[in-house]
Amino acid sequence: MIETRRLLLRDVLRADAEGFHAYRRREAYWRHVPMEPPTRKQIDEFLEQCLREQEESPRSSYCLAATLKDTNEIVGEALLRIRSARHCQGEMGWAVAELHQGKGFATEIGLALLRFGFGEIGLHRIFARTRCENFASRRVMAKIGMREEGILRENVRARGEWWSSVQCSILVHEYGAASAPGGAVPADGPIS
Ligand SMILES: CC(C)(COP(=O)(O)OP(=O)(O)OC[C@H]1O[C@@H](n2cnc3c(N)ncnc32)[C@H](O)[C@@H]1OP(=O)(O)O)[C@@H](O)C(=O)NCCC(=O)NCCS
């Protein structure tokens, strides 16, 4: 469980299926994600995979539901995967339900994942990728202090097209400097 100013990031549950399907089936979710609009059955399968990953030891994947502290409503998701334990490398991602976009939730999720990945797991570098045209996600990466590493040219085949991706990353010492008081990265607010 990761707590931020407005959110709880917690392990997904089977009972979350409807909450995830409600926003994942909307174009605002899948427009820049390499998938078809998901069916409820696919959401169930996705959750089963997440539940299996929760049992792994050592654990290498954290697929978390982002819920509003006040109401428990699912407003999005957070993903952190350890890509190389030996080299302390992780990858993260996020999504926010259309109704809640533009309120800073993805930024709050991203900062919480950095705190968790560097602080609890001990990663050295965390990277994120998104479709080049996904300017909102690119902006979130910049806001949480990630730097652009480059473009992966036509590395994804989605819905009959080739997509290119941008890859950004942040190193543990950059995070430490940027998240210190007066640093470039905004605080995700006091944890009550
Ligand atoms: C990308 C996504 C997670 C952003 O979530 P969010 O909660 O709205 O993000 P935030 O509010 O924290 O920040 C969004 C930033 O992008 C900016 N933005 C939004 N749309 C933009 C656009 N088309 N062009 C440029 N900037 C844009 C916002 O203005 C904001 O920046 P600001 O704070 O400087 O004004 C959300 O749009 C989403 O879930 N999309 C669908 C799933 C997805 O694409 N996930 C990422 C896969 S890698």
| HEC assignment per residue over the chain | CEECCCEEEEECCHHHHHHHHHHHCCHHHHCCCCCCCCCHHHHHHHHHHHHHHHCCCCCCEEEEEEEECCCCCEEEEEEEEEEECCCCEEEEEEEECHHHCCCCHHHHHHHHHHHHHHHHHCCCEEEEEEECCCHHHHHHHHHCCCEEEEEEEEEEEECCEEEEEEEEEEEHHHHHHHHCCCCCCCCCCCCC
Say yes or no: CB of residue 142 within 6 Å of ligand 1: no
Nearest residue to 155 via CA among 136, 131, 128: 131
Distance 101 CA to ligand 1 centre (A): 7
Q: How far apart are CA 159 and CA 32, in angstroms?
A: 11
Read off the pLDDT of residues 115-171 as tens digits, 9 standing for 90 and up. 999 999 999 999 999 999 999 999 999 999 999 999 999 999 999 999 999 999 999
- Nearest ligand 1 atom to the CA of 105 is 7
When pLDDT is averaged across residues 34-45 and rounded to a whole number, the result is: 96
The band of 192, judged by pLDDT with boundaries at 50, 70 and 90, is very low
Location of structure tokens 């428990």: 72
Nearest residue to 135 via CA among 158, 157, 106, 111: 106
pLDDT of residue 121: 97
Say yes or no to pLDDT of 106 above 60. yes
* Cα–Cα distance list, 191 to 79, 87, 101, 112 (Å): 20, 30, 22, 11
Say yes or no: CB of residue 85 within 6 Å of ligand 1: no
Which residue, judged by its Cα, is nearest atom 17 of ligand 1?
A: 136
- Nearest ligand 1 atom to the CA of 100 is 7
* Cα–Cα distance list, 148 to 6, 30, 152, 169, 191 (Å): 28, 23, 11, 7, 29
Say yes or no: CB of residue 94 within 6 Å of ligand 1: yes
Which residue, judged by its Cα, is nearest atom 14 of ligand 1?
A: 136
% of the chain with per-residue pLDDT over 70: 96
The band of 179, judged by pLDDT with boundaries at 50, 70 and 90, is confident
Q: How many other β-carbons are positioned within 10 Å of the β-carbon of residue 98?
A: 13
Say yes or no: CB of residue 140 within 6 Å of ligand 1: yes
Distance 58 CA to ligand 1 centre (A): 32
Whether the full predicted model's pTM is greater than 0.85, yes or no, is yes
Say yes or no: CB of residue 107 within 6 Å of ligand 1: yes
Least confident residue range of 20-29, 109-118, 144-153, 171-180: 171-180
Distance 139 CA to ligand 1 centre (A): 6
Which residue, judged by its Cα, is nearest atom 26 of ligand 1?
A: 136
When pLDDT is averaged across residues 31-54 and rounded to a whole number, the result is: 97
